[in-house]
Structure 1
Amino acid sequence: MGKNIHVVAHSHWDREWYFTTSRSKIYLQKDLGDVMDTLEREPEFTAFLLDGQSCLIDDYLAWKPEDRPRMEALVRASRLVAGPWYTQTDQMVISGESIVRNLYFGIRRAEELGGSMMVAYVPDSFGQAGNMPQIYRGFGIDTTLFWRGVSDDMAAHTDFTWRGDDGSTVLASQIPNGYYIGGNIPEEGPLVEKFWDEQCMDKAARRAATDEVYFPVGFDQAPIRTNLPQIVAARQAADPENTYRISSLPEFMDDLRRAVAERTEPLEEVSGELLVGKHMRIHRSIFSSRSDLKALNTQLQNYVVNVMEPILLLSSQLGNQYPRGAVDALWKLMFENAAHDSIGSSVNDEVNEDVYLRYKQVHDIAVNLVELHERLIVTSLRDSENRHSLTVFNALPARRSGVVTTKMYLPGGDLALVAEDGRRVPYTVLAKRDLTDYVLTQTIRLDPSRPIEIPDQVLEATVAVDASDVPALGFSRLTLVSGEDGEDALAPRDALENEFYRVSVNADGSLRVESKADGTVYEREAVLVESGDDGDSFNYSPPRADLVVRSTDFEPRVEVEGSGVVQRARVSFDMMVPCDLEARAAGVCEARFPVTLEVTLEKGSPVIGLSVHVDNTEPRSHRLCALFDAQLATSVNYADEQFGSIVRENVHERDMALYRASVGAPEEPEPDEPGGMPVNWVQKEGSWQEPPVAIEPTQSYVGLFGEGRGIAVFPQGVREYQIVDDELRSGGRGNQICLTLFRTYGFMGKENLLYRPGRASGEKTMETPAAQLNHEMTYELGFATFAGAFNEAHVADVARAFNTPLDAYEYAPFLNGRLIFSQMERTGTEEPERSLLSVEGGLTLSCVKRAEDRPGLVVRLYNGLEHEEAGARLTFADEVTCASYVDLLERDCAPVEHDAHTVTVEPVGHCRFVTVYVEL
């Protein structure tokens, strides 16, 4: 029986790569215009795949809005196949919420034009995350086509069932040799038969599980092959035993589904995340390329979802208008940066400038939306008119106490902070400067008939406030009272101490951490390790001749100070490191590399805050990591992925054995192998494209647990780690978390890397001097210890709280002016303390936000435990008028149990998420 060859025309359209978005948009005007011309002119050219990303619609119509009717007609007829993504997102670095919103916006935008493809098409992203099947199912998508991440050791066929970490399944098909295999079809001469035999029948058809074969015709930024109907007709005439036709991806998936149903044997099953680089490159350490931009992505993902959206929801529930247009614009900027090359930073320096600019825009929009809506809330509170206040906002749906650090404008003299119930609230001034003239000249009295209090002196101060018992997803107001001294001033200390830890600095600058929960003393934490990086924008790769430099090799300068509110230590090192790879190979350390580790311990915090500031002006092509010793040896580590936890082996033993065999290396690493990788090997037929190095991504934490205790690290910058032993070797049983802080390199692509042999990825001749990051940088993270097993620690909840700091808004009539945009004063009526929602139970919050196109709110929760069911109870201050479970398009799918103020979420299993819609 012959094969059914689905010839699918497409163009993989990177919006930016070694070129800017502006350049690609200009060419998109021509190429997409040519596509529509061809489809309209040639009925035999039945369909064209628009790369699965609806942003191309917006990019095109922004400059050619007059073509919308043409585009709508073609999309509605399923000839121009649009959606389901907004941009072709990365799946390893990007958060679950960003991925969900990306699909939501992509599907909705395509539907506005006439219809969305409901196949998860992922032609080039660097691996597939383990919870994607559940996400796809949440949108009603039950099929996916992708390229990277699966090998023939996992599935003999390219069609298989992919089971996600929660148990959800989708029908998956892999493009065996990439989306570009049909991009250069010869039209005449002896090469024609050879091409179809090799590229189609051998590479595409040989491993198909059925007679349905997907054959893509296109490549990067490719124009339409206008004579494709003639090419396909000629091939059909030359090979009548098989059937060739111009098809579409949805048609292929429909036929594949029918063919699978007719099989007598079930398809093979592949489970979990797909990050194997045997047949294609995965770029496992792209998670740390352009670490400065990765840090911005981490911080903004956290701020937008954890802080901005809850505050805007709270404000809208108090009657203020929800800024839908601004929020949508912000998310689209995030989606543009989430595209696999953009977030991967596997682009040139000019493109990275554009990526930074989009992050800056997101930051500016998000911060100012929060400022405005906190201001609207604060000025709506009763007795607010002539009161100098600080209102503390809690974006978590759980009542909490903690320290909020904020900038304030303080009158001179003694001051106290007083709660509504009369309690004096301790605070500590961390820094201050006199700004009297500047601040007071900005004051605008819009109504001069209303008297306001104007201080004689104004100090701009950074203040840490001991905010206790702040309502769940709500706020409480504090008032500044002059004439009383309520400050808990900083003073020198020997060590840092709160309810959870006693932290001291060792003679070598490492940290000694005593856990008060179980008495365990962690003797040597936060050691900084500098080493070489012979990689490029796609991969970290150690030099074949490396020199490792540790912070403990240098004498530290230590300052410790604190109060009852906050304590901190500064540990400074004048490190000297090699200036480049040549000096490193020669063992010469001649570059200055000053590093300061700042340790912060706040009252009531179970997480020790760490900030690493470096002056990276002189060194080039190197990497800095931080080591955290669990003082226990374990073969697995715990991290989180989108909407759940994941347990990974410290070393991918099976894959590493297959890899070493494929290159003819000994089964066990030789003592002199850098990073455990064989150096003198030749890439040959059957050998791996990229070795299975256990450098891993995480979403918000990585931990080591065993012997009834554990540790976890919470990165707020780069989220990349490896588990190593005391000698920094990646072995079967490791005891140290090695967290990447940053790495630098000088080229987009390089050849013959130790961790990626063979050809260069990207453009090998394109220098990227800005990627050397030769300037000052700061990277932040947290460290915590736990008594008990992983599930007892509830690490996901600790991570969420750490990434959702308390926020505060200062209000005073004398500040109402050009400094913050003047607004008319109003008489407030709302109570000075309020809670919107509290969540109790074993599920972890993913988001709480305004619904997209309905009047209510959406709460998404997930099970962050390891193979243990958990549920939740949602309690609202206002009456619940309706509630239901919804899918990821926020369509009702099942009733949810609720009464007047409570919604009960039934227990769900490992890595499961649940979305609830509520109207109040």
Structure 2
Amino acid sequence: MKNHAHDSIGCCCSDKVHREIRNRLFIAEEKTDQLIEFYKRKITDAIQTDRTEDRLTAFNLLPYKRNEVFTATIITKLSSFQLEDETGNRIDFEVLEKEVIDPGLIDRQIVHYGNYDPFYKYTVQLKDTIPAMGYKTYFILEGENSMDHSFKEVNTIETDFYSISVNKNGTLKIFDKQTNELFDQVLLLENGGDDGDEYDYSPLLGEKLIYSHDVEAKSIVRQNKYGGEITISLCLPVPSDLEARKNGETDCSVDVKWHITVAKSKPILHIHAEIENYAKDHRLRVLVPTKIASRVSFADNQFGLIKRGVFDEAMGVWEKEGWSERPDAIYPMLSFVGLANDNRGVFVLTNSTREYEIVGDKFDTIAITLFRSIGVLGKEELIRRPGRPSGIKLPTPDSQMIGKLELDFAITTYAGTFDGVKIARIGKEYTTKIETYNKIPYDAMKLNPSGIHTPANFSLLEEIGETVGVISTLKKAEKEDALVLRLYNPSEQGVNVKMKGAQQASEVNLNETYLHSLDVEQGTFTLFIKPNEVKTVQLK
């Protein structure tokens, strides 16, 4: 909460303050990650079973079953193993990576008593159905198995939804089998000067933007039975600073590495970006063409959906009327933004960068800001904001973003009319991956038994019926021995959400104050949610 002050949350601060903000976020994230790991371990340790083998538990944090590909880490001394579920069914998997680990990194007591036999750390890929708002346990058995992968280098990745290949410049060519549309030059880079400050982007007048059309990229394209992966490396020549840009010099570069994964049976391209920036005072964006000429964009905000014009009509009057800032259509999103018509849609999902603009002669391309590089807290007389500086004119060299940056986003498409609930749920799935925990006999931190017995497979709550609502959170009630479930409806029609798994249910407000009881029949209750409404339910 210390980082939510007005200027702190907007990164409009000195380098010294920003370093404090970054450190607080690191500590908060580390504590959260370790708490999650702790409770995954407590649940897995408490599983009541006669089996003695090591375990792998997969957790699904959404209220419906998920049948999809996921990756997991397994640490063992076994050079070959098999996976079985509780009923003895063998689970197929492929090994993506194998790494030798010093036993002292697992538990120092192992080497303390002279055992230096190494452990192996496997990254495995598998596909299975994980229970709704629950988990499933697998047992790791010694046995002969192919500890390898079936990846083969290909020119084109073929999935149930897409055909994907790589152009010479590192962009993608994607054929959508749902809509018979071909998208070319996907992930084209756009670079331009940024004469702004920490508050506002400001372009250079009359400059010619730099694109990655003509770069020479290196790529590796592979496919296995679960899907495909693409690694692309490219170097985009750019000016080193504003002066070099004004002089038309490209004496510096930005190095970009894309790692793209796509499952065989799911229409989402996951993109991990590693960016090495060496230049100052510029903005780097990635372009996603949609072939959908648009007047509005669709993005998510808190508990809902916002529809924005791709062009602000006030652009024609802002100077005449003396506005303090030009109303460019550069907007934020939380987890997705996209364009849609009556027949199809193209959306970008994100778990990192959250700024977009719809560009192109027909407003048919989504431009996602990867980063801005600037060196001043506040500047006066900007192109987009004439007059006084928004903040003090203080040098902030750290905000030039020199060095390495990692980002995660994704691209998805669909056929049919726009459905706000459907795309919001896809965005929620993207930001809520299947978590795993690997239990082995060794652990540096010893825990006392919890005294609680948990089953090998479990489902707490399950949504019944068609796609109708979006979960915001499931949490412990603040003052009662109960759970709080919060849902919202980002559509333009009222919906009935039906949930199974409660003995008692009552509607409460955001402060968890009782409003009225809900009928529960055979563990199931129904909740009506109006368009763009948030509902909170307390469960026992």
Interval of TM-score (by shorter of Structure 1 and Structure 2): over 0.9
Number of the residue aligned with 2:396: 768
**Offset at residue 537 of structure 1 (A):** 0.7
Number of the residue aligned with 2:55: 389
Residues 528 and 427 (structure 1 numbering): CA distance in 2 closer, same or farther, change over 3 Å?
farther
The one-letter amino acid of 2:298's match is: Y
The one-letter amino acid of 1:839's match is: E
Correspondence 1:871 to 2:532: no
Q: How does 1:493-508 map to 2 (within 5 A)?
A: 493-508=154-169
2:243 corresponds to which of 582, 588, 594: 582
Number of the residue aligned with 1:315: none
1:883 corresponds to which of 501, 505, 515: 505
Structure 2 CA distance for aligned equivalents of residues 341 and 527 of structure 1: 32
Number of the residue aligned with 2:378: 749
**Offset at residue 344 of structure 1 (A):** 0.3
**Offset at residue 503 of structure 1 (A):** 1.6
Residues 379 and 411 (structure 1 numbering): CA distance in 2 closer, same or farther, change over 3 Å?
same
Number of the residue aligned with 2:99: 433
Q: Is the 8 A contact 1:525 1:628 kept in 2?
A: yes
Q: Is the 8 A contact 1:412 1:457 kept in 2?
A: no
Correspondence 1:525 to 2:150: no
Structure 2 CA distance for aligned equivalents of residues 891 and 721 of structure 1: 38
**Offset at residue 552 of structure 1 (A):** 2.4
Structure 1 CA distance for aligned equivalents of residues 420 and 384 of structure 2: 37
Number of the residue aligned with 2:486: 860
**1:177-200 per-position Cα deviation (integer Å, ceiling 9, x unaligned):** xxxxxxxxxxxxxxxxxxxxxxxx
The one-letter amino acid of 2:381's match is: N
Number of the residue aligned with 1:812: 440
Q: TM-score, normalised by structure 2?
A: 0.94
Number of the residue aligned with 1:913: 534
1:781 corresponds to which of 409, 432, 435: 409
Structure 1 CA distance for aligned equivalents of residues 223 and 184 of structure 2: 22
After alignment, is 701-710 or 892-901 more displaced?
Answer: 892-901
Number of the residue aligned with 2:88: 422
**1:12-64 per-position Cα deviation (integer Å, ceiling 9, x unaligned):** xxxxxxxxxxxxxxxxxxxxxxxxxxxxxxxxxxxxxxxxxxxxxxxxxxxxx
The one-letter amino acid of 2:516's match is: A
Number of the residue aligned with 1:831: 455
**Offset at residue 502 of structure 1 (A):** 2.3
Q: Is the helix fraction higher in 1 or 2?
A: 1
Number of the residue aligned with 1:658: 317
Q: How does 1:353-392 map to 2 (within 5 A)?
A: 353-383=19-49, 386-392=52-58
Structure 2 CA distance for aligned equivalents of residues 338 and 467 of structure 1: 40
Residues 487 and 422 (structure 1 numbering): CA distance in 2 closer, same or farther, change over 3 Å?
farther
Greater gyration radius: 1
Number of the residue aligned with 1:634: 294
Structure 2 CA distance for aligned equivalents of residues 487 and 539 of structure 1: 52
Structure 1 CA distance for aligned equivalents of residues 453 and 484 of structure 2: 27
Number of the residue aligned with 2:75: 409
1:559 corresponds to which of 202, 205, 220: 220
**1:127-147 per-position Cα deviation (integer Å, ceiling 9, x unaligned):** xxxxxxxxxxxxxxxxxxxxx
Higher relative contact order (CA 8 A, sep 6+): 2
**1:140-162 per-position Cα deviation (integer Å, ceiling 9, x unaligned):** xxxxxxxxxxxxxxxxxxxxxxx
Q: Is the 8 A contact 1:697 1:721 kept in 2?
A: yes
Aligned length: 536
Q: Is the 8 A contact 1:797 1:844 kept in 2?
A: yes
Structure 1 CA distance for aligned equivalents of residues 385 and 19 of structure 2: 27
Q: How does 1:81-92 map to 2 (within 5 A)?
A: none
Q: TM-score, normalised by structure 1?
A: 0.56
The one-letter amino acid of 1:873's match is: K
**Offset at residue 900 of structure 1 (A):** 3.5
**1:710-755 per-position Cα deviation (integer Å, ceiling 9, x unaligned):** 10001221211000005xxxxxx40000011111100000111111
Residues 826 and 843 (structure 1 numbering): CA distance in 2 closer, same or farther, change over 3 Å?
closer
Q: Is the 8 A contact 2:295 2:363 kept in 1?
A: yes
Number of the residue aligned with 1:342: 8
Number of the residue aligned with 2:525: 903
**Offset at residue 365 of structure 1 (A):** 1.1
Q: Where does the alignment leave 5 or more consecutive residues of structure 2 unmatched? A: none
Q: Is the 8 A contact 1:787 1:793 kept in 2?
A: no
The one-letter amino acid of 1:588's match is: E
Q: Is the 8 A contact 1:416 1:424 kept in 2?
A: yes
**Offset at residue 565 of structure 1 (A):** 2.8
**Offset at residue 660 of structure 1 (A):** 4.2
2:422 corresponds to which of 794, 818, 831: 794
Number of the residue aligned with 1:72: none
**Offset at residue 444 of structure 1 (A):** 5.9
Q: Is the 8 A contact 2:161 2:176 kept in 1?
A: yes
Q: Is the strand fraction higher in 1 or 2?
A: 2
**1:765-787 per-position Cα deviation (integer Å, ceiling 9, x unaligned):** x1100101111111110100110
**1:624-677 per-position Cα deviation (integer Å, ceiling 9, x unaligned):** 111111112111111111111111100111x22331432xxxxxxxxxxxxxxx
Q: Is the 8 A contact 1:488 1:563 kept in 2?
A: no
Residues 793 and 889 (structure 1 numbering): CA distance in 2 closer, same or farther, change over 3 Å?
closer
Q: Is the 8 A contact 1:750 1:761 kept in 2?
A: yes
Partner-residue secondary structure (3-state), 1:634: coil
Partner-residue secondary structure (3-state), 1:401: strand
**1:78-105 per-position Cα deviation (integer Å, ceiling 9, x unaligned):** xxxxxxxxxxxxxxxxxxxxxxxxxxxx
Q: Is the 8 A contact 2:332 2:356 kept in 1?
A: yes
The one-letter amino acid of 2:304's match is: G
Correspondence 1:571 to 2:232: yes
Partner-residue secondary structure (3-state), 2:108: coil
Number of the residue aligned with 1:716: 351
The one-letter amino acid of 1:514's match is: F
Number of the residue aligned with 1:22: none
**Offset at residue 853 of structure 1 (A):** 1.4
Residues 827 and 541 (structure 1 numbering): CA distance in 2 closer, same or farther, change over 3 Å?
same
The one-letter amino acid of 1:788's match is: G
**Offset at residue 562 of structure 1 (A):** 3.3
1:694 corresponds to which of 308, 313, 329: 329
Q: Is the 8 A contact 2:75 2:440 kept in 1?
A: no
Structure 2 CA distance for aligned equivalents of residues 440 and 725 of structure 1: 53
Correspondence 1:465 to 2:125: yes
Q: Is the 8 A contact 1:428 1:563 kept in 2?
A: no
**Offset at residue 488 of structure 1 (A):** 5.5
Q: Where does the alignment leave 5 or more consecutive residues of structure 1 unmatched? A: 1-334, 449-453, 663-686, 727-732
